[in-house]
Structure 1
Amino acid sequence: MPPTNSPTLRQRRLGAELRKLREQAGLNTPRAAALLGVNQSRISMIETGRTPVSADKVRSMASAYECADEQLVDALTTLTGRRERGWWEAYREHVPVALNDLAELEHHSAALRVALIVHIPALLQTTDHARALFQQVAPPMRQYEVEHRLTHRIKRQGVLHRENPPPYTAIVHEAALRMGFGGPEATLGQLKHLTDMSELPHITVKVVPFGVPGFPTTGQSFDYIEGPVRQLDTVQLDTHYGACEFLDAETQLRKYRAVLDRMESCALGPTQSRDFIHRITQDI
């Protein structure tokens, strides 16, 4: 398979996980190359995600590295092959690369958990709400950029409407419900949409009211994207400059799982949350 100069996040993740297995086995690149019967540059290209690798090759590498975790190896084989031609490929020239990486991660996720302080979850936003957000970013985007971002976000939401969608849990702070992006009419439409979506069996929305003690957050929103095994989970952080930052070190994953668990313990239950959102609509 020919090399690529623009590997996807999934391809880079596969390479990084194979590098971890090699290092855990105590092998340097020359020794690994000798065991596998390939040159050193081939190992380097695989580990940076620049060369697509087959499922059989992944199994051969895992065997050479004496990895006994069959579930992990099986999960790694699902990351193999060429770049998938998902719907997001049509946006490769129109939105930041990280947004397409996020769309691909969501598409392949086993489950999704998100935590937001001042925004409604992207996968639960209405068109009017999302457009209002994009029109208020700094520096301002051109209108065609707003429309590209908007249609990309709406298409991302398809992951929640397909056959066998991933379980989706959103922990939303009361502040996000009261921000009022787009004005009263857009806000009412957004809150109604949020409660309607929360009625779907695979979607759980939990609200954290003002004044809850012990709320564990620094104010940063994040997504926790579960992979086929826990080692392949990913955290996506929103940044102040509008991009996505992805984390996958085990210590980081453990930290954000703990934060999500604590946030969820502070939140109202699903039914109470719907009632809470309904009461907010009466104030608009």
Structure 2
Amino acid sequence: MAGRSAPTARRARLGAELRKLRERAGLTTTQAADLLGTSAGQLSNMEVARFGVSADRVRVAAQAYSCTDRLLVEALVRMTGDRKRGWWEESREILPRKLLDLAEIEHHGTRLRAAHTIHVPGLLQTVDHAREIHRQAVPGMTPPEIEHRVSFRVKRQTVLYREDAVPYSALIHEAALRMRYGGRHVARAQLRHLLEVSERPNVDVRVIPFSATDYPGSGQSLYYVQGPVPTLDTVQLDQSHGPAFIDGEAQLTQYRALLDRLDAVALDTEQSRDLIDTIAKDL
């Protein structure tokens, strides 16, 4: 087993899921290690992704832990086989680790769902809009740091345009559409870009208008990345100190329900496009 000083998000999630399976089986690390023919120390290192895990090891562990969810087991097995470095690894010495984790998580996602109140979702931002958002960050960033962040955000957007483009749905509050980040010219170009990208078959942009009488949740930006099975879904929340990731089963259920409720109060696709067009013309 090869040691890893800086595990990727995918490897860290694999280790965490193996730990969850062990804990559901009611086994201590010592008991589980005995069943797997390894030491408690080695097992702990696998669960925190210091060591890589083979496909065979995952299958043996699943059997030892009495896991009968074959779809989950096979999804975990597939997580062991991707050893290529993703494009985001090029920025490991430049950008915070959690930004790289976000790019990796969404790269492997099977469906992406976003809900935003004040900002246009990052995957739908123009370069000028993204630059203005990063320019206003607290604490402030130097011009080179801003350009690195903007370039990274644009590269993340390739998940929407690649050959196996990921289905993406965005719920955007009207407040975000009326914010004039960068002034009228930048704001109008951003709205026109939303209209353009929403024409892609894999992208659905819908607006929650000011006239909506219901708005579930606290208004916090929410990004839901679906995995190959629901257990491997991930929620990303925006924080002032950077992205926060959530993958607890109860929390995933809660955020799925929240997105479904927000979806129910949003305008349909054509009504949303009409409202975006109207706001752009009013600028």
Does TM, scored on the shorter chain, surpass 0.5?
Answer: yes
Partner of 2:27: 27
Q: What is the TM-score of this pair, normalised by structure 2? A: 0.98
**2:152 counterpart SS class:** helix
How far apart in 2 are the matches of 1:164 and 1:81? 19
Partner of 2:71: 71
Q: Deviations over 1:202-231 (max 9, x none)?
A: 100000001311201212101000000000
How far apart in 1 are the matches of 2:216 and 2:255? 10
User: Which runs of 5 or more residues in structure 1 are unaligned?
Assistant: none
Partner of 2:108: 108
How far apart in 1 are the matches of 2:156 and 2:138? 23
Partner of 2:128: 128
Partner of 1:191: 191
Q: CA 1:45 to 1:246, structure 2 compared with 1: closer, same or farther past 3 Å? A: same
How far apart in 2 are the matches of 1:255 and 1:69? 22
Partner of 2:264: 265
Contact kept in structure 2, 1:53 and 1:81, CA below 8 Å: no
Q: CA 1:182 to 1:18, structure 2 compared with 1: closer, same or farther past 3 Å? A: same
Residue 279, structure 1, aligned to residue 272, structure 2: no
Q: Deviations over 1:100-159 (max 9, x none)?
A: 000001110000000000000100100010001111111210011001101000000011
Partner of 1:99: 99
Partner of 1:253: 252
Partner of 2:170: 170
- By how many angstroms is 1:83 displaced? 5.2
Partner of 1:88: 88
- By how many angstroms is 1:81 displaced? 4.7
Residue 232, structure 1, aligned to residue 232, structure 2: yes
**1:78 counterpart SS class:** helix
Partner of 1:220: 220
Task: Report the count of equivalent residues.
Answer: 283
Partner of 1:4: 4
* Amino acid of the structure 2 residue aligned with 1:215: Y
Q: Deviations over 1:178-213 (max 9, x none)?
A: 111111111111100001100110100000001311
- By how many angstroms is 1:82 displaced? 6.7
Runs (4+) of structure 1 exceeding 3 A deviation are 81-84
Partner of 1:207: 207
Contact kept in structure 2, 1:131 and 1:150, CA below 8 Å: yes
How far apart in 1 are the matches of 2:208 and 2:64? 49
How far apart in 2 are the matches of 1:119 and 1:217? 16
**2:282 counterpart SS class:** coil
Q: What is the TM-score of this pair, normalised by structure 1? A: 0.97
User: Which runs of 5 or more residues in structure 2 are unaligned?
Assistant: none
What are the within-5 Å matches in structure 2 for residues 140-155 of structure 1?
A: 140-155=140-155
Identity over aligned residues, as a percent?
A: 52
**1:224 counterpart SS class:** strand
How far apart in 1 are the matches of 2:135 and 2:107? 27
How far apart in 1 are the matches of 2:11 and 2:66? 22
How far apart in 2 are the matches of 1:107 and 1:78? 14
Q: Deviations over 1:232-263 (max 9, x none)?
A: 0000000022x010000011101111110011
